């Protein structure tokens, strides 16, 4: 039997599949981030010197970029999660595509605002 | 009539094979495939009606699930004159472009009622109210409900939705979009059947609750069944019932 999971596939009319893909990617990213976050908090135990060095490192442009990716991940995953909860309850099924593009649009706009504030 | 040359790039179990055929510019992919089978009689594929009714000619055409009999060659041919053909996914492969529909049909069979295709006699014991939701007024105005009236069902059991569904690829026991849509159909027209018995068949982790709302089934369905909508509406129905009880 030819079965393979196909989480990543692009089509001409992609809304549902695109939402499916980004939701999973951001979900995996957020789980990875959760562990990273716990590891980072662990530096607090190593004294104020270690924490100050860490904070210094956090101000580098590269890390700020990662922060922006994280912000987008949280926003999109949350908003699309809301969309999935609604359609899962049979609400707004007809507008599911627009709800997706809306979630994506709002996530992108708020991420841009976030970058604006950060830099 | 204008003829064009088409190169069919076909997956044959272990390798790709090319067939170059001449077809009319108005031909459909199935016509081109039949021309290719003239070159190699061992080429396996299935078809019957040639008009999107039997549901047997589903393929992945350039990676997308479509019915070969209603897909015009000119819509899918690329600039190199090529069309890529692969069998449907998530079905046991018999060979070349032919997949085994038996497990799929068995799933549908469990739901039974909405898929009975043979001309069924409508009798007076049938709940006319539930029919009003399905058939238009004109049909109900037929003086004596005529024997041989064919229930018009949308699903043609083509399996495109199962092939397109990303979840059917990860859960071998998943009921699949067509089967779940059929349950939704029973709900809207129970015809004295116990709805709860049928819902129970799919109210589990391999049924209704496995769907991840990628909406791929509805994108590819050639019959406008919109299985994703049926599945999610069914979920909402069950949730509401559970809350009430
Ligand atoms: S629901 Fe649509 S895609 Fe699925 S088997 Fe029926 S007709 Fe084909
Ligand atoms: S040959 Fe019957 S649906 Fe295509």
What is the average per-residue pLDDT within B23-50?
95
Q: Which of B59, B232, B233, B237 best tests the A interface by mutation, with the highest count of A CBs <10 A?
A: B232
Q: Which residue has the higher pLDDT, B142 or B188?
A: B188
Compute, in angstroms, the gap from residue B55 CA to the centroid of ligand 1.
8
Least confident of A65-69, B13-17, B189-193, B214-218: B189-193
User: Which residue's CA is the closest to the ligand 1 atom numbered 2?
Assistant: B221
Examine residue A1 and state whether it is found in any structural domain, yes or no. Answer: no
d(CA B71, CA B53): 14
Total Cβ atoms within 10 A of residue A36: 12
A19 Cα to chain B: minimum distance (Å): 7
Q: What is the DSSP letter of B72?
A: B
Burial of residue B147 (number of CB atoms within 10 Å: 0-12, 13-18, 19+)? exposed
Instruction: State the total domains in chain B.
Output: 2
Q: What's the ipTM?
A: 0.76
Q: What is the DSSP letter of B167?
A: T
Residues B90 and B107 in one domain: no
| Contact yes or no for B233 and A20 at CB 8 A | no
Residues B14 and B41 in one domain: yes
Can you list the alpha helix ranges (DSSP code H) found in chain B? 29-39, 73-76, 102-111, 128-134, 137-140, 160-164, 177-188, 195-202, 216-220, 227-244
Q: Band of the pLDDT at B35, cuts 50, 70, 90?
A: very high
pLDDT in tens, A21-73: 999 999 999 999 999 889 888 888 888 888 888 888 888 888 888 889 999 99
Q: Which of B212, B227, B230, B242 best tests the A interface by mutation, with the highest count of A CBs <10 A?
A: B212
CB B234 within 8 A of CB B184: yes
Compute, in angstroms, the gap from residue B68 CA to the centroid of ligand 2.
7
pLDDT in tens, B68-119: 999 999 999 999 999 999 999 999 999 999 999 998 888 887 776 555 443 4
Residues B85 and B107 in one domain: no
Residues B61 and B82 in one domain: yes
d(CA B216, CA B178): 12
Q: B26 CB contacts (<8 Å, ≥6 apart)?
A: B1, B72, B74
Return the CA Rg of chain B.
20
Compute, in angstroms, the gap from residue A16 CA to the centroid of ligand 1.
17
Residues B202 and B112 in one domain: yes
d(CA B94, CA B102): 11
The enclosing domain of B95 has a CATH number of: 3.10.20.30
pLDDT in tens, A79-96: 999 999 999 888 888 888
B82 dihedral zone (left: phi>0; alpha: psi -120 to 50; beta): beta
Q: Band of the pLDDT at B24, cuts 50, 70, 90?
A: very high
pLDDT score at B40: 94
| Contact yes or no for A2 and B89 at CB 8 A | yes
Q: Could you tell me the residue range of the domain that residue B190 belongs to?
A: 102-116+153-244
pLDDT score at B135: 52
């Amino acid at each position: 039997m030819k079965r393979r999971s196909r989480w990543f596939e692009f089509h001409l009319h992609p809304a549902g599949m695109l939402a499916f893909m980004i939701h999973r990617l951001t979900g995996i990213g957020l789980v990875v981030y959760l562990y990273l976050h716990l590891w980072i908090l662990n530096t607090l135990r190593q004294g104020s010197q270690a924490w100050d060095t860490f904070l210094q490192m956090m101000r580098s442009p590269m890390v700020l970029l990662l922060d922006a990716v994280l912000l987008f991940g949280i926003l999109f995953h949350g908003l699309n999660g809301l969309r999935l909860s609604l359609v899962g309850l049979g609400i707004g099924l007809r507008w599911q595509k627009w709800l997706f593009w809306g979630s994506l649009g709002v996530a992108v706009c708020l991420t841009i605002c976030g970058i604006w504030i950060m830099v | 009539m204008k003829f064009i040359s088409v190169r069919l790039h076909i997956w044959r179990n272990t390798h790709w094979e090319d067939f170059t055929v001449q077809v009319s510019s108005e031909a459909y992919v199935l016509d081109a495939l039949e021309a290719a089978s003239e070159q190699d009689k061992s080429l396996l594929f299935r078809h019957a009606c040639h008009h999107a009714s039997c549901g047997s000619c589903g393929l992945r055409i350039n990676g997308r699930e479509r019915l070969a009999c209603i897909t015009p060659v000119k819509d899918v041919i690329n600039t190199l004159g090529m069309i890529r053909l692969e069998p449907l996914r998530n079905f046991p492969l018999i060979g070349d472009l032919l997949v085994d529909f038996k497990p799929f049909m068995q799933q549908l069979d469990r739901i039974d009622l909405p898929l009975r295709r043979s001309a069924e006699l409508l009798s007076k014991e049938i709940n006319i109210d539930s029919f009003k939701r399905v058939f238009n007024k004109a049909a109900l105005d037929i003086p004596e409900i005529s024997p041989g009236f064919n229930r018009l069902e949308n699903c043609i059991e083509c399996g495109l939705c199962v092939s397109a569904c990303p979840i059917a690829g990860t859960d071998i026991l998943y009921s699949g979009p067509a089967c779940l849509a059929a349950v939704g159909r029973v709900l809207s027209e129970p015809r004295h059947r116990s709805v709860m018995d049928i819902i129970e068949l799919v109210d589990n982790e391999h049924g209704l609750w496995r769907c991840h709302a990628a909406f791929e089934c509805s994108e590819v369905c050639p019959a406008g069944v919109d299985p994703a909508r049926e599945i999610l509406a069914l979920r909402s129905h069950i949730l509401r019932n559970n809350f009430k009880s």
